[in-house]
């Protein structure tokens, strides 16, 4: 009787993990489809594979399926290593994790997925912290100040918190474009002066040190041995990191993968955090909604505040 009960519990646990794995796999496919590859001849087959996986769910627990996807991602990174976004590496490692987990015995898959996800987060944050501490042009805040002034993904944060107009930010991007491509028009620019404000400078410094502190903390929490206290701290800190960081730096691809890894490393007793990661996954997308433009459209009849 005890043997039958143990077998039933084992089958139920396997079914629960299968449902969780399928959910993570489907979210991964969404991330892949919304993060196009740099080369079309690899992205088109990837899209076809993703669609087939959605239609035929059994493929989502197939090792060859995830091996093929990982190979496509790896080939793209290899062919475009000098320009590929950082989060594409993390997506590739995550797909390789799904591939390897599927190759294990069913009883070992959950534990392997948890440990691998935890290591991916911890090592990612550890290397990120090391790079920042070793870079002279990062510690002084100039990196984030520059990104706030020229990267359109920071426009809302720069204008709302940095007291700088969207017109000035657009002018900054135009100047950078002239500096890099002006020679095609016969312009020989060797330097430019970007428009900035003291508030942008302070915001850049604040973002610099907040990122170092929270990424270093995450590295320690996720690489430390698994304990109940450390589990609480690492989950709360990673969710805080996502909610704060991606409200300013709308790098959705990186945020999505981190939330997937966060969901994957949760124990059965951490279902609250599991769903909190899922809500954060959706929140990262919600951050991309141009609330300022919508408000201007409703109040002024135009998304551009300069147009009456």
Instruction: Express each pLDDT in 87-131 by its tens digit.
Output: 889 999 999 999 999 999 988 999 999 999 999 999 999 999 999
**Residue ending a domain, choose from 69, 103, 137:** 103
| Pair 97, 145 in one domain | no
pLDDT band for 71, please (50, 70, 90 cuts). very high
pLDDT computed for residue 84 by the predictor: 83
* Residue after which a domain boundary falls, among 103, 133, 153: 103
Same domain assignment for residues 171 and 252:
yes
- Alpha-carbon torsion 199, 245, 208, 235, what sign? positive
State the pLDDT at residue 308: 43
Residue 270 sits in the same domain as residue 164: yes
Query: Within this chain, do residues 22 and 157 fall inside the same structural domain, yes or no?
Result: no
Tokens of residue 162, six digits: 């940095």
pLDDT at 276 over 80: yes
Q: Is residue 152 part of a domain?
A: yes
pLDDT at 6 over 50: no
Are 61 and 198 in the same domain?
no
The answer to whether residues 145 and 290 belong to one domain is yes
Higher pLDDT, 286 or 97: 97
- Is residue 271 included in any domain, yes or no? yes
Alpha carbon 108 to chain centroid, angstroms: 27
pLDDT of amino acid 265: 94
Residues 138 and 286 in one domain: yes
Q: What is the mean pLDDT of residues 265-279?
A: 91
**Residue 178: inside a domain:** yes
pLDDT digits 0-9 by tens, 186-221 = 777 778 889 999 999 999 999 999 999 999 999 999
**What is the rounded CA–CA span in Å between residue 250 and residue 1?**
55
Q: Are residues 64 and 206 in the same domain?
A: no
Greater confidence, 229 or 175? 175
Determine the structural domain holding residue 260 and report its residue range. Answer: 124-308
Report how many domains make up the chain.
2
The set of residues, in sequence order, having a beta carbon less than 8 Å from that of 225 and lying 6+ positions away, is: none
Burial bucket for residue 118 (CB in 10 Å: 0-12, 13-18, 19+):
buried
Residue 293 located in a structural domain:
yes
Retrieve residue 149's tokens: 């002034």
Q: Are residues 172 and 307 in the same domain?
A: yes
pLDDT-derived band at 291, boundaries 50, 70, 90 = low
8 within some domain: yes
CA dihedral 101, 106, 111, 116 (to 10 degrees): 0
Q: Where are the alpha helices (DSSP H) in the chain?
A: 2-34, 40-55, 63-79, 86-102, 106-134, 136-139, 142-150, 155-161, 166-181, 198-223, 228-248, 252-264, 271-286, 291-300
Same domain, 52 and 165: no
Mean residue pLDDT across the chain: 85
In angstroms, the CA 121 to CA 258 distance is: 7
Question: Does 112 reside within a domain?
Answer: no
Top-confidence residue, 43 or 222: 222
Do 137 and 226 belong to one domain? yes
pLDDT tier, 3 (very low <50, low <70, confident <90, very high otherwise): low
Q: 78 in a domain, yes or no? A: yes
Q: Note whether 154 and 303 are same-domain residues.
A: yes
Query: Domain for residue 110, yes or no?
Result: no
Instruction: Give per-residue burial for 183-194: e unless 16+ CB within 10 Å, then b.
Output: eeeeeeeeeeeb
């Amino acid at each position: 009787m005890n043997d039958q009960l143990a077998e039933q519990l084992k089958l139920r646990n396997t079914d629960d993990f299968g449902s969780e794995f399928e959910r993570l796999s489907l979210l991964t496919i969404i991330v892949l489809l919304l993060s196009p590859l740099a080369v079309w001849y690899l992205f088109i087959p990837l899209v076809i594979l993703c669609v087939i996986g959605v239609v035929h769910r059994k493929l989502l627990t197939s090792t060859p399926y995830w091996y093929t996807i990982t190979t496509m991602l790896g080939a793209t990174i290899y062919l475009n290593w000098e320009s590929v976004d950082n989060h594409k590496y993390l997506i590739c490692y995550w797909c390789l994790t799904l591939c390897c987990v599927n190759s294990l015995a069913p009883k070992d898959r959950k534990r392997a997925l948890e440990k691998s996800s935890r290591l991916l987060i911890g090592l990612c944050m550890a290397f990120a912290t090391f790079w920042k501490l070793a870079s002279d042009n990062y510690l002084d805040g100039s990196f984030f100040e520059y990104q706030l002034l020229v990267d359109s993904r920071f426009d809302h944060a720069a204008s709302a918190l940095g007291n700088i107009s969207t017109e000035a930010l657009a002018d900054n991007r135009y100047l950078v474009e002239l500096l890099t491509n002006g020679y095609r028009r016969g312009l020989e620019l060797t330097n430019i002066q970007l428009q900035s404000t003291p508030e942008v400078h302070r915001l850049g410094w604040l973002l610099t040190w907040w990122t170092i502190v929270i990424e270093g903390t995450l590295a320690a929490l996720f690489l430390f041995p698994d304990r109940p206290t450390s589990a609480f701290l690492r989950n709360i800190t990673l969710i805080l990191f996502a909610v704060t960081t991606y409200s300013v730096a709308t790098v959705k691809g990186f945020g999505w993968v981190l939330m997937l890894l966060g969901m994957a490393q949760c124990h059965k007793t951490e279902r609250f955090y599991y769903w909190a990661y899922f809500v954060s996954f959706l929140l990262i997308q919600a951050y991309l909604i141009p609330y300022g433009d919508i408000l201007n459209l409703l109040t002024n009849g135009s998304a551009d505040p300069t147009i009456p």
